[in-house]
Structure 1
Amino acid sequence: MGRRTRTRRAVTTAALLAATVTTALAAGCTAQHGDRTDDGRGRSPASTPSTERSPAGPVLAVKIDNVGAARPQTGLDAADVIYAEQVEGGLSRLMAVFATRLPKAVGPVRSARESDLELLRQFDRPTLAFSGAQGKLLPLIGRAPLTARSPDQASAAYYRGTSHAAPHNLYVRPGRLLGAAPGAAALTTGFRYGAAPAGGTALTHRAVRYPAAAFTFDWSAEKGRWLVGEDGGPALTSDGKPLAPATVVVQYVRIRSSRYHDVLGNNTPYTESVGSGTAQVLRGGRAYDVRWKRPTAAGGTRFTTADGTPVNFAKGQVWVVFAKAS
């Protein structure tokens, strides 16, 4: 056998060995980080306790303007979770949380509230995009376990749009704040995803009203989603897409007065997301009466049936509407 032949065979053998090792490594990576819907014990990545999760980057939480002059909004269809809360004057505002996708732009962006800090404690040092806050609240934001990114701290990430009049025209470019989406493991909300619970009641329409705002959710069997309505009209994105979560949670919480007021003297409501109470979960055209519990600010919220069985959400976007407990 000539030297050239032996050399060619050695090179071929090395190439085959390298390909085999690469394939094995890829298979191992797929087993750990592929499109699995649970962690092997029936839990979604977002519901796995933090001590067991693989490291993930921070989620991006964006405070969203939600008055009529701010609609239609941009980028909300890419959010994994959207929280709706009551603010001054009985109006509503949204907190959109992004982990699996980062759209090119999100907005209009508005100011933060004190209760946002409690809500965001469930995430590992989230990045908060907001337009600012009143002076007395800024020190609290600075001490909170999050990364504050207002235009003062990250001016290059923000721009003024032309479709809405100021102050409803501030937008953020998420890619300039995070760089990349951290993935589902960063959604430490305590939510579980999987098969629908037993029972429930058939439901195709649900309304939630604040003193000066209203949300409606209408089940679309064709889309397999809940179509969102706000203040009497359909909720659409700026490119005409309907906002349509797979799961809606109406969570009854204590809403009390805070120590802050707006420029008109209206008190800023404080929404307590730590504690326990009742809720209604909407998925698949059915409603489920459940209990919620969040013992500490550092943990997520668990939803269970009356006998303590965890309640699964449908795969897809989740809306959590905080409603005042009676």
Structure 2
Amino acid sequence: MRRGARGRRARAAALLTATVTTALVAGCTGGSGPGDDGRGAPKDSKYGTSPSALVVKIDNAAAARPHTGVDAADVVYAEQVEGGLSRLIAVYATRLPKTIGPVRSARESDLELLRQFDRPTLAFSGAQKKLLPLIDKAPLKAETPGNAADAYFRGPGRPAPHNLYLTPGRIVPETPGEAALTTGFHYGAAPAGGMATASRTVRYPAASFSFTWSDARDRWLVGMDGTPATTADGERMTTGTVVVQYVKVRASAFRDFLGNNTPYTETVGSGKAQVLRDGRAWDVDWKREKATDGTSFTTGDGTPVNFAEGQVWVVFAEAP
């Protein structure tokens, strides 16, 4: 289902000044990766004839905030990583900001999540050595500091690895368009019922996301780790729809340099979810039969649940 006209005007992303360098520190979980040894999937023009979505792995440590360009994403996925911390996966189709970041490393479960898109461009800072062959084989176009150095730069005022930024126009020459959003999401009028909800918080072992309804803004105000989330230009971060999706989070075969296991978030399957929009919440079912499918969200009788126009946040929470 195609989306209607978006209700928000684009805000200009903050301009960051820094010299583009070719010797970028990867900021990955452990070992060397595309950001520090030049490895990664080579540039290839054989990724289809229609533009595909741009996906960017976003650092979400406290030192990485405020973010740049995340407010322009069509979909923001929040996932748990090592040590109970969190990372963001921002998907761009209808708008491309001038700058996005800070950019961080890829994870194994990202590959399953991104199969729903038609060979998306994945921008990330690096990955563990053992994960690189899986990324090379995945049906996506990997763009890293190792093979697209002119698209990345280090911003001032923050220490590495929390200062790596992407200029998306250098790896995606045109805005992909809403047809690239093959998420399975539906948009339109709110379903009947729902429970009046002023706020909702999702907690990880060492991180949290909160969403507080604002009648004045007609949006959910985003908070991270108990602090209001803002953009790099000082605007409060908001979203029209929040999905708390309960999934299985299991151990993977990978660990970071401290020995912490990398969680694997399973996004293929089925389960329960909660959809928040218009100051109300609906308990729904989710289903994704195979990795190449988008995810459907339905009421008990199988009716698709419409999301509000605008950005969607999907927060993966561990199923009880």
Sort the TM-score into its range (normalised by shorter chain): 0.7 to 0.9
User: Helix, strand or coil: the match of 1:287?
Assistant: strand
Matching residue of 1:295: 289
- For 2:66 and 2:228, locate their aligned partners in 1 and report how far apart those are by CA, in whole Å: 10
Q: Which moved more, 1:83-92 or 1:231-240?
A: 231-240
Q: Structure 1 residue 126 and structure 2 residue 120: aligned?
A: yes
Select 2:190's aligned residue among 167, 190, 196.
196
Alignment of 1:1-326 (within 5 A): 56-326=50-320
- For 2:143 and 2:164, locate their aligned partners in 1 and report how far apart those are by CA, in whole Å: 13
C-alpha contact 1:56 1:185 (8 A) present in aligned 2: no
- For 1:259 and 1:117, locate their aligned partners in 2 and report how far apart those are by CA, in whole Å: 14
Superposed CA deviations along residues 12-38 of structure 1, whole A, max 9, x for unmatched, are: xxxxxxxxxxxxxxxxxxxxx99679x
Superposed CA deviations along residues 72-102 of structure 1, whole A, max 9, x for unmatched, are: 0100110000000000000000000000000
Superposed CA deviations along residues 207-247 of structure 1, whole A, max 9, x for unmatched, are: 00000001100000111110000011101111111110100
- In structure 2, the CA distance between the partners of 1:220 and 1:174, relative to structure 1 (3 Å rule), is same
C-alpha contact 2:72 2:95 (8 A) present in aligned 1: yes
- For 1:168 and 1:190, locate their aligned partners in 2 and report how far apart those are by CA, in whole Å: 33
TM-score by length of 1: 0.83
Unpaired runs of at least 5, structure 2: 7-48
User: Helix, strand or coil: the match of 2:122?
Assistant: strand
- For 2:246 and 2:179, locate their aligned partners in 1 and report how far apart those are by CA, in whole Å: 27
Q: Which amino acid aligns with 2:220?
A: W
- For 1:291 and 1:85, locate their aligned partners in 2 and report how far apart those are by CA, in whole Å: 19
Superposed CA deviations along residues 120-172 of structure 1, whole A, max 9, x for unmatched, are: 00000000000000000001000000000010011010000003211100000
Q: Which amino acid aligns with 1:81?
A: V
Superposed CA deviations along residues 222-281 of structure 1, whole A, max 9, x for unmatched, are: 111100000111011111111101000000000000000000000000000000000000
Q: Give aligned pairs, total.
A: 277
Q: Which amino acid aligns with 2:196?
A: A
Q: Whose helix fraction is larger, Structure 1's or Structure 2's?
A: 1
Unpaired runs of at least 5, structure 1: 1-32, 38-54
User: Helix, strand or coil: the match of 2:161?
Assistant: coil
User: Helix, strand or coil: the match of 1:73?
Assistant: coil
Q: Which amino acid aligns with 1:254?
A: K
- For 2:236 and 2:172, locate their aligned partners in 1 and report how far apart those are by CA, in whole Å: 26
- In structure 2, the CA distance between the partners of 1:227 and 1:258, relative to structure 1 (3 Å rule), is same
Q: Which amino acid aligns with 2:239?
A: P
**Structure 1 segments of 4 or more deviating over 2 A?**
33-37
- In structure 2, the CA distance between the partners of 1:173 and 1:202, relative to structure 1 (3 Å rule), is same
Q: Which amino acid aligns with 2:292?
A: A
Percent of matched pairs sharing the same residue: 69
C-alpha contact 1:261 1:268 (8 A) present in aligned 2: yes
- For 2:87 and 2:59, locate their aligned partners in 1 and report how far apart those are by CA, in whole Å: 6
Q: CA deviation at 1:291?
A: 0.1
TM-score by length of 2: 0.85
Matching residue of 2:14: none
Q: Which amino acid aligns with 1:122?
A: Q
User: Helix, strand or coil: the match of 2:133?
Assistant: helix
Larger-Rg structure: 1
User: Helix, strand or coil: the match of 2:239?
Assistant: coil
